[in-house]
Amino acid sequence: MKTVIIACGAGIATSTLICDRVRHLLSENGIAADIIQCTVADIAGHAARADLIITSMKLENRYDKPIVTAISFLTGIGREQTEQEILGHLT
């Protein structure tokens, strides 16, 4: 099972929307994942066990995990490319 961190500034609204879309994407593609929803400030506490970090914003900190900025899930622009990037990191 994969572990995915989904983070936004407050860890509530934006990350909830992204979580819903990522869960649907992973389900459609048969990928089992534990999703951790948190604030950007909380990423460091979860990063060691993550396979992928998905955010709604650029991160100032660097992590040794792949990071996908998923603003396209909010705007709709480039959504398919973001989905393929996420799948590429988890398959």
Residue 25: count of CB within 10 angstroms of its CB: 19
CA 40/CA 43 separation, integer angstroms: 5
- Looking at the annotation, which residues are catalytic? 8
DSSP 3-state percent helix, strand, coil across the chain (nearest 5): 45, 25, 30
Answer for the pair 63, 81: CB distance below 8 angstroms, yes or no: no
